[in-house]
Amino acid sequence: MSQLARLEVGVLQGCGPVRQRRLAEMGVTSVLDLLTTYPLRYRDQRRLAQVAELVPGEAAWVRAVVRRARLVPSRGRQRVELVVADSSGALTVTFFNQRFRLRQLPEGTEALFYGPLQVFRGRRQLTNPQVDLEGRRSGRIAPQYPASERAGVASWEIAQLVEEALDRAGRFADPVPEAWRSRLGLVDRTQAFSGIHRPERLRDAALARRRLAFDELLRLQVDVLRRRLVLEAGTRGVVHRAAAAPGGSALVRELLARLPFALTGAQERAIDQVLADMARPRPMHRLLQGDVGSGKTLVAAAALACCAEGGYQGVLLAPTEVLAEQHHRSLLRLLGELEVEDPGALGGRRPLAVGLLTGRLPAGQRRQLLERLEAGQLDVVVGTHAVLTPAVELPRLGLVVVDEQHRFGVAQRAELRARQEAAGRAVPDLLVMTATPIPRTAAMTVLGDLEVTELDELPPGRQPVETRWLRTPSEQAEAWERVRQEVAKGHRAYVVCPLVADGGAKEAKAAAAERERLASAELAGIPLGLLHGQLPADEKEAALAAFAEGRTPVLVATTVVEVGVDVPEATVMVVEDAGQFGIAQLHQLRGRVGRSARPSWCYLLASELTGETRTRLEALEATTDGFALAEIDLELRGEGTVLGTRQRGRSDLKLASLRRKHRGLVAQARAVAEDLVGEDPDLTAQPLLRDEVDCLLGGTGAYLGTG
Ligand code: ADP
Ligand code: MG
């Protein structure tokens, strides 16, 4: 295949400079490009009808000879009228404004015609039928290529060139061993290319598509696995001995024993997996996907406790300062009463120390915190990404937990590794958490260099948030009424303001205006808070505190409340102009309520909508399952949303999909890739596959860099 990629289409007989240029405009320059220009559909011309058998209104192919051909001038339009016949009878074929048909179909020509039979003034006729001049494709299943009008290349021209290329290519070498092919029921490469371009049965085409889609996914998986191996090659990780100890980590056991509730099964499994990773010398790289409220913080806390038990430092990174502060409070609560060994301390133990490092820490406190970190007196530090800058010395870094950022990817990981190694230190374990799950198939592909754990279970007693799309002002009155009722019960409500183009200052202003409006209209008499991204940090914090304590039981906000804000008393979420938001964003917003055993509501305000936006809001009404919503989002918006632009450039997905329909195929490709790549990123044993991946996904150089 890689040779074909280096062979220009110009080597083909029928491909002179003009055609070559036109093909290039369609993005087809090599023979491989040509062979991977796949038919969009097929025309089944195997069964031909007799002219006499044609039934009015039903389309069919007939093979007939042109008996008479003439041009009929008719009211400004040119009409070409043919009489065609086979042994069973004759009929009229009429073309409007297709004068070239006279040249194409002179009397005596045999051709295939396809169209529905019409009866016009008692005359049987076909109007503007499809025509296939008697050629190699008649009586067969004819491929229909994505012809490009702009470039001036017709489907039949592509078909001709593909025929020639296939004839000349002969057999294709196959990088997938026969054993795997027969196990997975995959046809070989040669069958696949001939089956997709010139199937004898429609089933051939289907099998061919499956094989070629598999190959696309296989290349993607091989690529991802090689990157991972390169990243891990020679990497020294931290062995967290507490995790490896028989009976597991004592601190984790103590942490769990102190909880006022039992773990969910999913939490138990996740903690087991994380601790097992931490016990190994290979650095962990795990993604923890869990719906809003599924209890990810606790999994992080367990990992951090285990890390601290062995005398290592853990970092928890949050996307915003507000969230960092919230995590800091949670971790103080969860970990603050545990003790770690400290030979310098009285009795050899001291309390596990959790610190907070954000941009707004006064200089003096910051210095003090950095000193404690450097001296190894802080076990856990919570902060924003600023924590991982060279100014912060973490002499015994053992674990990094990243919250709400599954894009903490290869580059950051490589940077972290480089930094640690430059200092002669082990590479820490990495746990990435997200409440915006991406479908498993996609995760396995895009984020293939990490392991995925799912928290697919909510703690018991949670009530699903009742979600309603309210279209008219009279329907929407229900939302405001609910807000008033809940506030009267001592609960809280959020009102999320419409998005404003170019956001920032304008959005802040609009939010302030909406607060004023609500204060004198729907929500008159209720103290309303205001939260937006333009507020100085301390005002943000004050607004959240006033809301949490109930002094302002309604918080009018922009999407800054989207991620992670945790006020259990909140029971109503009103999203204005909800059609502007994406599925994931709405689901995140909804996750701000329903955080206790109290019943909760989410109201999506939007006038009647159609199309994709409508599907989105209906999906939110129908389910509160973030994994299901992620699938719907992928179906609606396509692979581009999960494959970032960078990854998309690195894939050659033409037939394969990361959507539900290819879930099984992705898993199979993964298994084969793991088997073929093994522990060898150079693919020494698989030269064919290596060439192909390098050639189609952009060369080996990329593996050596940071991606
Ligand atoms: P998220 O996954 O959204 O980050 P959190 O970790 O913030 O979820 O947990 C949400 C809430 O659920 C917290 O108040 C937490 O104390 C509580 N929680 C976590 N695990 C359990 C459990 N197994 N049973 C009951 N409540 C739990
Ligand atoms: Mg969280």
The answer, yes or no, to whether any atom of ligand 1 lies below 6 A from the CB of 267, is yes
- 164: number of Cβ within 10 Å: 17
Q: What is the pLDDT of residues 624-675, one digit of tens each?
A: 888 889 888 888 877 666 665 445 445 677 888 777 778 889 889 999 999 9
* CA angle in degrees (0–180, nearest 5) for 203-207-208: 115
Give start and end residues of each alpha helix (H) in 280-379. Answer: 296-309, 321-335, 363-374
The answer, yes or no, to whether any atom of ligand 1 lies below 6 A from the CB of 120, is no
Beta bridge partners of 127: 94
Structure tokens of 44? Answer: 């089944």
The answer, yes or no, to whether any atom of ligand 1 lies below 6 A from the CB of 289, is no
* Residue in 294, 406, 456 to alter for ligand 1 test, most ligand atoms within 8 A of Cβ: 294
Q: For atom 10 of ligand 1, which residue has the closest CA?
A: 293
The answer, yes or no, to whether any atom of ligand 1 lies below 6 A from the CB of 327, is no
| Dihedral sign of CA atoms 438, 439, 443, 445 in order | negative
The answer, yes or no, to whether any atom of ligand 1 lies below 6 A from the CB of 555, is no
The answer, yes or no, to whether any atom of ligand 1 lies below 6 A from the CB of 482, is no
Least confident of 64-68, 85-89, 229-233, 269-273: 229-233
State the ligand closest to the CA atom of 597.
1
Structure tokens of 649? Answer: 């450039």
Residue 247 parent element (H or E): none
CA distance 295 to 665: 32
CA 666 to chain centre: 13
* CA angle in degrees (0–180, nearest 5) for 351-355-356: 160
Tell me how far the alpha carbon of residue 356 lies from the centroid of ligand 1, in angstroms.
21
Q: What is the pLDDT of residues 4-58, one digit of tens each?
A: 888 888 888 878 898 899 999 988 999 989 999 999 988 887 778 899 999 898 8
Q: Long-range contacts: 536-539, Cβ < 8 Å, 24+?
A: 537/321, 537/359, 537/360, 538/360
Residues 6+ away with beta carbon under 8 Å from 532: 507, 508, 511, 512, 557, 558, 560
Q: What is the pLDDT of residues 100-137, one digit of tens each?
A: 899 989 999 999 898 889 998 889 999 999 888 755 55
Tell me how far the alpha carbon of residue 292 lies from the centroid of ligand 1, in angstroms.
9
Choose among 468, 485, 462: nearest CA to 554.
Answer: 485
Query: Measuring CA to CA, how many Å separate 547 from each of 293, 308, 485, 590?
Result: 20, 34, 17, 17
The answer, yes or no, to whether any atom of ligand 1 lies below 6 A from the CB of 237, is no
291: alpha, beta or left? (left if phi > 0; alpha if psi -120 to 50): beta
CA 525 to chain centre: 45
Q: Are 691 and 217 in contact (CB under 8 A)?
A: no
The residue ranges of DSSP E strands in 503-591, in sequence order, are: 528-531, 554-557, 570-575
Tell me how far the alpha carbon of residue 593 lies from the centroid of ligand 2, in angstroms.
13
Choose among 563, 493, 577: nearest CA to 528.
Answer: 493
Q: For atom 20 of ligand 1, which residue has the closest CA?
A: 295
State the ligand closest to the CA atom of 295.
1
Q: What is the pLDDT of residues 197-211, one digit of tens each?
A: 999 998 999 999 999
What mean pLDDT is reported for the chain? 87
State the ligand closest to the CA atom of 323.
2
Q: Would you give the DSSP letter of residue 526?
A: S
Tell me how far the alpha carbon of residue 72 lies from the centroid of ligand 1, in angstroms.
79
The answer, yes or no, to whether any atom of ligand 1 lies below 6 A from the CB of 437, is no
The answer, yes or no, to whether any atom of ligand 1 lies below 6 A from the CB of 444, is no
Q: For atom 19 of ligand 1, which residue has the closest CA?
A: 295
Tell me the pairing of strands 123-127 and 89-96: parallel
Q: What is the pLDDT of residues 419-436, one digit of tens each?
A: 888 888 999 999 999 887
